[in-house]
Structures are given as structure tokens and as C-alpha cells.
Structure 1
């Protein structure tokens, strides 16, 4: 995103683009229809019945406003733990890409003194250093970060003192704080308030300012709506830099949101826990949308997953039409962790058990790491890790991550799972600090894509385990006559090693869009093909 100066008078262009044909009465009929459907039994691997949401979501656009002087550089060195001052640090999040691990967390001297701090690791999580903090007024909390591509990251956060404001952080170059920018959209002008529980997921396949998707919970009395804690998503305009959209369904009663990008399919995914008045319990509400043309007719689809018990605290991952939603389930009087997984983009679902002991398992978080799913959850004040090699059908035996017994803070967003490791709030020193631990996984990265005679890229493994039989592909979209799509397998890639891949000779002419994928890692580039030469990368 180019953060050109925009007038501070918040000139917002209102455009209502889509209206649902179903009103409140039809929504109630959908909920009632599901009540008579089959309830799920405890067996793992069973098929799940869902009810689709008819019609399209509502959408509204506005222009962003830049925040000048939003960041203050810092220079205090840190080793692991990530943050261990005498002041409480809460709600950490981490995004990894380009050999950088970027962390955001809440620095909280008091309930009304909360600010977002940033730390970074350049050595695979072995050490962290504070790099910046926000220098803006108000109370901020619950940051979210995602890697967009290259050295670019995006993020957001809640603002407790400006509850109708949606912020967007752009880290154009994570190594150069002068390129960091902050903008906001003032949705309070349209009667929105209490925007909270934001989660970001990025993808760089479209225009440079199209960051991906942010899920959120929000309330509004805009127009004829009366929504309290309803499901929302934010995304950038595909046409205009600086213009963004808020989109919503006419439902209320959500507590948590979660977001993911299916990069190969260019699809945004969000999920929410939502109260069902008829059943007296919480359902899962999932919502997906086309990233290439999010405003097109039929671009969005949504549905409910319903049990005869609560489904809470969802966390979602998606890749190549495979989708997994982890959540807390109350089946036998205590909280377990279940995984609802779909192999076909949400057309059908099954369910498996991640963890089900006699104790409460809480606050699940899932991420895609290469070709496997990794997750964390909290039990008895400890943080546990499990993984799945078959996209949620089966899970490994959970392993404890924290080395001090019972010190993990157990509350919403006190821990996060990432492709590279877990980050959490820990109370071992008498207050809440931030700790990190790497997962025992291979972490694959597609590094700089280069041209010349054909297309070349480097695949690196920055994780702690070797990668075996890594599938890779390079796809060129454009007028390419020879080797427009090349694939292969890296037989073995030890931790810390890298391997070069390439198309070999190509022939073509004109603009070309390039996609490189290796074991779940994904990177794109654009250039110009002149015969066998690829230029401008």
C-alpha cells in the first residue's frame, strides 16, 4: 500500500454495494430449520451436517486516514523470553517470513495504559529485540499480525477508546521502520461500535495494497440494522488504494473470530462462534469469499455447523480447498478440543478429536506449517502442542511446551500458534511476560524469485526438523509456450539448508505472473518474458 497524504477531514465515500434479500424473519427460519437436523455424536471421522446461509452479505466502503508519527523506534536488546520487564505483557502474536519473526504484544502498566510493542528475531527465534512501539493516543490491545510476502507484513489491533475505528498497520520493509505506516477507517460515522477480536490473514496475489482479510466482531445500528456482536470481515478495495470495505451478515451473538487465507485458491476464510437462541448453545459460523473479485455476485458463501453443545473459540486454517476449524467443545461436561475439517472447500465436513482428557482443554490455535497442521491449547496452566499430517483427520499425542509447570496464562489470546512455533503469556516471574518456543517442524520459505534464462528460486528450511520429499512447482501465467508449469520434488532438505529450483529453458512473450510453491510455502512475482528471458523480477 502506498500511504500518500490523505486529507485529515476523513472524506469518506459511502457506497452500499450488496443487500441481502433475506430479512430477520428468514434468518430465524434458517436457524429453526437446523434445530430439526441431525445432532452430532462423539464418534471421530463422522460427517457433519451444515446449513448454508442464503443470499449475500452486506458491504460498505470508506477511505482510510493516515496516522502521522505513529511509531517510536526502540533499541533495548532482548534474548528469549521475548519480553520480560516488570510490567505485564499480554496477548502476543507472531508472524514469520523472509527470515524474520515479527512479534506484537500488549504492554500494560495498568488497565487504562495499554500500548502495542513490537519485537523481532533475525535468527530463527533464538533471540528477540524490541524494535518499535506505537506512539498514538488511546488504549490499544489484542494485536494481530500476518506475513504478506517478501519483507512485508500487515497487522491490526483493538482500540478500547475508539471503538468504531479499524486500524491497519503496514510494515512495507520489516528491517526499515521508516517504511512502517498506520492508517484507519472511521466506521463510527456509520454507527459502528465495539470492533474487537480482530484476526488478520494476508496474501500477495493481487494488487500491492490488497492485504488479505481481517475478521472481527462488531455492533451497529446502521440503516435498519440492530446487530450486537455480529460477524464482520474487512478487506481492501480491489480497485482503489486507500479504499476499504466492511462486510457483515445480519446476525448477533458472536464472541470470537478467526481468519485464514487459502492462497492456492485465492480465497478468504473467517469463522466465528455464535449464540443460537433456539438451541441455547454456541454454533460455528464459517464464511468464505473470493479474494480475486470479492465484490462479485456469488463471491461469498457462509454456513453454520451446529451441535447440541457449545462450540467455542474457533481457530481456522485453509489451503488448496482443505479447511480445518479447531474449537472448544463441551460434550461431556468439560472442555475438549475438536477439529472440524473439510477436504472440499466447505462442501462437506467431518470431525476429529485433538485432545479430550478429564481436564479442560482451552484456547486452541491452529496454523499451517508446510504440509501439516500444528496447534496449541492450554490445559492446567500448561501449553500443549499437537500436529496433524492428514489435515485434521488424526492428531499426534499432545506434548507440553512450557518448561515451568503451570505458569501459562489461561485466557483469550494468551497464546498463539504459528507455522514456526508458539508464543504465549507466562507468569513464572510473578507477572505476565512473553515467551517463545519453536515447534519441532521444518519451516520452508520460498526466497527471492529471480529471472534471466528461465525462472529460479531458492527454497530454505529455517525450522528445527528436516523436510523430506518436498513437492515444488513454478507456474507462469501469460503467453508462455514452453515450460509454463514445472514441478519436482526436493528429496531431503535438512534444517538450516536450502535448495535451488528452476524452470529451465522457457519461451514466451509479454507480461507474466509467477507463482512458486514448495511444501506449502508460497511466493509470487511479476515480470516480462522476451523469448527465453525473464526480466523485471
Structure 2
């Protein structure tokens, strides 16, 4: 495919000179919070770079796959690798992976299921003379919509945003490609991950992606080797068709990234493992950033470094943040082999607590995590098998790991070899047929998982609450709190019991006020906030 030259966007950046590393560290704070690790933290402001869309990407074509009974998504004679998966609404799941018929060719395939993975519908993009790989998919936060990205082998510094408004209708799939290398000295962009996001106030904003890349651009003073980047839609700031990115040039020699958005707070969290020259091993870097206001002039970002010192190198982090509770799992070698640890936090990783998730004498690698407030579920690979463990107390303790795969010793390891998504749905690369295939299993969540589905107005407000986990939620505390000119019924609370798979409704009862307000519903570890207008006993325009 011939590259289409992107429109040159000259100096559209507010300030291209990045904050020097020494001034950044001068504003930092160091704390030896535990004998086994050290935290540094501080704040900074982004310095965005923009690019006009280069090419539009169309919908994929259907492929009728022969499906077996042991949950294969793709088990052809070719190699299928780098799977990613996301649960949307109900039992609708979207998966993506790379098909590699030979060492020089790689293309992206999508497959969706409407029955929680029992059957799959496979679609492919054109793969001749291409080397696209390492796809990442994420639920966008509304309806059946999802978003995807992947590494573009044809471009040194290119990115794709692929929108799926309805994952069950592939004709609606489509996206855009940006060729940044046409305008800037960027190159070696790879290891993309994505987190979906939707807002009625900014419907073009699809979420955020993170990746690793290099830069050697004298014009904008971007010089870096293998540093982390963040990229988003730029419509709000620069107009339709623009994307915006920023590189974090002081974290050189990073390897992998992971990104998560807390839908309840609107904050995003990007995590990566970077070579920390001050200790001589790999440490974790964390960036806490806004979402819809990410590139505003007054936006404030926070950074945190977690170092285990010379004898503890951290690798392959994965992050999940929900209802204010954040979890980072990664590999560590502090016991002489590879174990899985978790850094958990309730304040945006300003402070963290470290616990071991798995630390047997064997190597445990490649962790993946999904959180539901105080509940989190983690998978990892050991001896060619994939295991699941979970916590119900915010990461303080973890259950005994249980093996997931049926055939022993056939799970491939390495970055992007497996992924866990919400609802206990797991996808992995499997070698049981003598080549690399993609397999799936739906585990469920062996604990209550509380979701606040909807907040409705009227006389007061009502909230619909569901328990999508595998355990009953008994005597869970709840509150409905108004912020604004509400004089009667400003807060109400109680306890509620919701069986596994059940639904319940909670109500504020009588309220009285006048003017714009917000209402926050908290049930257990789940929180949801909506804006509204209070007119006497009526609550109007809840959204």
C-alpha cells in the first residue's frame, strides 16, 4: 500500500520544549514506604503533538470458521497470535488477534460472540503484503460498542483507531490511520494497548491508547529511546480528523505498557516497566491523567515511580482501576525466580500497598487483571498453564490459584499471549494442535460484582443495581448523595442484598431543592455520579 502523505501540521503545539528531567525531579517526593520498594511521585503538564488523519479504514470481511467444542476462536493450520478480548453488553464479546500465514505476513482478525463465547463469528481485514500485529480491543462504555488499535508494520510511527459501534454488526466497523512519521522524527512505535471511554458531552472521544516508541526530532526537541506515549482523539482541541499524542521522554528503555480508565472518576492510568538507571533494574512508572480534559491548558497530570531496588526487577505490568480502587500486577524476580505481585491503591497510586499474588517455586509470568472496586480477578501463566486467582478485600489477600485450561502445558507465554476481561472471560494463545491457535474460556467471577446500571430522575432518584458476579451480595451498604441546592433528602442510605445474577432498585425518597446539582450513588465499592436539575421535589435531566 502506498503511503498517503499526511497534511503537515506545523507548530501547533503550545510548548514543544519538554520539562527538563532535573526540574521534574526537583518537584518530586520520595518515600521509603516499605523495606522492599520505594515510591517517587510528582506532577507535570502535557506537551501535545498533533497529526491530521492520513487514511480511512473500512469494515472487515466475513470468514466462516470451523469451530470445535473446546472453545477455540481460531484453530487453522496457520499461526494465530496476540489475542485481545472485551466484554460489551450482556453476553456480547469482541475478540481480536493476528493471523500469520508466514513469517513476512500478519493481519488483524476480529471475532464476536453473542452467547458468552459458545459460538464465534470471524471477520478479517486484508492481510496480503502487510504486517499488522498485536491488536488491543476494549469496551467503549456504552451499548455494544468497542474500540481497537494495533501495531502497523508498514509505518515506523503510525497508529490506527478502529471503532466498532455495534460489535454484532461488522459492517459498522471502521477507523482511521495516522502516519506521524510523515511530519515528525518518530519511529519504532509498537506494543499498543487501549482503554475505551464514552461521554455524551464529547462523543468523538473514543478513549486513550498507550504504546512504546522512539523519537529523534530536533524541531520539537523530542529525543527518546523506547519511551512510553499516550495518544487520543484531538477533535475537541484541534478539529475533526486530528489525533494528539505526548511522549514521556524521561522514561527511556521501557518495554511494555498498560492503560485503564476509571469510569467513575474520569481519570486514566498508564503503567509501564522502564529501566531505572539509578538502581540498575526495571521499575514501574505510573501516569495519572484526565480523560476528556486531557489536553486542556490547565490539565494536571501526576507521575509515580515504584522501584524494588537492585534485587527486584519488575516486568510486564497490567493495570485496572474501577470505582476508585486501582490494581497493578506485574512480574518480580525478588525471590530468585519469577513471581506475581500486586500494588493496590485507593488514591490514584499516590500511596500503594504491595502483596504477593503468586509466589511458588515455579516461575509465574504474564499477569492480567480486571477490577470491580474491592474485588479483582487476576490470571497468570505457570508451566504452560493459565491460572486464575481473585481478591475480595481490595488486594490484601488472594485465593488459591486454579488452573483454567483443560489440556495441560499448551498455553503460550510472553507479552500479549493472554488477556482477561470483565466477567471472568479469558483468551489465550494455545499450542495443543502443534501451532499457535486462539482459545477462550468464560470463568465468571467467583464473588459478588456490584454494578450501578442506571440513575433515573422523577420524584427523587432511583438507581438500578445489578450483581453480575458468582456470589450473593449480602447486606451491602449504599448511599445516594446530592451535591448542590438540595435542602431536604440530601443524603439517604441503607443496606441491600442482591443474589448472584440479580437486580435491585434503591431510591432517594423525597427530595426538595432548586437548581443544578449532581447525585452520587455508592453501593459497596461501586460508584456512579450523574448531573441533574432539581425543581422542588422533581429531579430532571439526569445524565
TM-score (norm 2): 0.84
Show the counterpart of 1:49.
38
Show the counterpart of 1:400.
403
Show the counterpart of 2:437.
433
Question: SS state of the match for residue 190, structure 1?
Answer: coil
Of 56-65 and 330-339, more deviation after overlay is shown by 56-65
**Contact 2:213–2:229 under 8 Å retained in 1:** yes
C-alpha distance 110-30 of structure 1, shift in aligned 2 (>3 A): farther
Deviation string 1:427-467 (CA, Å, 9 cap, x unpaired) is 12222222222244345555566666665554444444444
**Contact 2:468–2:500 under 8 Å retained in 1:** no
What are the ranges of 5 or more consecutive residues in structure 1 without an aligned counterpart? 1-6, 43-47
Deviation string 1:227-253 (CA, Å, 9 cap, x unpaired) is 111011112334444332111111310
Question: SS state of the match for residue 420, structure 1?
Answer: helix
Show the counterpart of 2:77.
86
Matched, 1:130 2:121: yes
Distance apart, 1:469 and its partner CA: 4.3
C-alpha distance 468-507 of structure 1, shift in aligned 2 (>3 A): same
Matches for 1:169-208 after TM superposition, within 5 Å: 169-188=162-181, 189-205=183-199, 207-208=202-203
Show the counterpart of 1:3.
none
C-alpha distance 499-513 of structure 1, shift in aligned 2 (>3 A): same
Matched, 1:415 2:414: no
Matches for 1:273-292 after TM superposition, within 5 Å: 273-292=273-292
Structure-2 separation of matches of 1:145 and 1:164: 20
**Contact 2:325–2:373 under 8 Å retained in 1:** no
Distance apart, 1:521 and its partner CA: 6.1
Question: SS state of the match for residue 74, structure 2?
Answer: coil
**Contact 2:47–2:246 under 8 Å retained in 1:** yes
Structure-2 separation of matches of 1:510 and 1:241: 34
C-alpha distance 73-12 of structure 1, shift in aligned 2 (>3 A): farther
C-alpha distance 521-431 of structure 1, shift in aligned 2 (>3 A): farther
Structure-2 separation of matches of 1:82 and 1:370: 30
Of 317-326 and 114-123, more deviation after overlay is shown by 317-326
C-alpha distance 91-212 of structure 1, shift in aligned 2 (>3 A): same
Question: SS state of the match for residue 171, structure 2?
Answer: helix
Show the counterpart of 1:262.
262
Deviation string 1:33-64 (CA, Å, 9 cap, x unpaired) is 98xx869645xxxxx42123564343212233
Distance apart, 1:267 and its partner CA: 0.9
C-alpha distance 403-108 of structure 1, shift in aligned 2 (>3 A): same
Matched, 1:382 2:381: no
Structure-2 separation of matches of 1:335 and 1:60: 38
Question: SS state of the match for residue 226, structure 1?
Answer: strand
Deviation string 1:283-327 (CA, Å, 9 cap, x unpaired) is 111111122422344511112111222111111122344322111
Distance apart, 1:516 and its partner CA: 6.4
C-alpha distance 461-303 of structure 1, shift in aligned 2 (>3 A): closer
Given candidates 112, 118, 121, the residue that maps to 2:113 is 121
Show the counterpart of 1:111.
103
Question: SS state of the match for residue 80, structure 2?
Answer: strand
Structure-1 separation of matches of 2:343 and 2:138: 23
Matched, 1:366 2:338: no
Q: What RMSD in Å do the two structures reach over aligned CA positions? A: 3.5
**Contact 1:369–1:420 under 8 Å retained in 2:** no
**Contact 1:293–1:299 under 8 Å retained in 2:** no
Deviation string 1:397-456 (CA, Å, 9 cap, x unpaired) is 211111211111112111112222221111122222222222443455555666666655
Structure-1 separation of matches of 2:94 and 2:271: 25
Distance apart, 1:263 and its partner CA: 2.3
Given candidates 227, 246, 256, the residue that maps to 1:230 is 227
Matched, 1:244 2:240: no
Given candidates 422, 428, 436, the residue that maps to 1:424 is 428
**Contact 1:53–1:304 under 8 Å retained in 2:** no
C-alpha distance 533-281 of structure 1, shift in aligned 2 (>3 A): closer
Deviation string 1:39-93 (CA, Å, 9 cap, x unpaired) is 9645xxxxx4212356434321223345242422345474622222222221211
Distance apart, 1:150 and its partner CA: 2.2
Of 257-266 and 69-78, more deviation after overlay is shown by 69-78
Structure-2 separation of matches of 1:27 and 1:173: 43
Show the counterpart of 1:4.
none
Show the counterpart of 1:302.
303
**Contact 1:77–1:130 under 8 Å retained in 2:** no
Question: SS state of the match for residue 75, structure 2?
Answer: coil
Given candidates 11, 14, 27, the residue that maps to 1:17 is 14
Q: How many residues are paired up?
A: 521
Structure-2 separation of matches of 1:409 and 1:484: 54
Structure-1 separation of matches of 2:197 and 2:494: 24
Structure-2 separation of matches of 1:110 and 1:259: 31
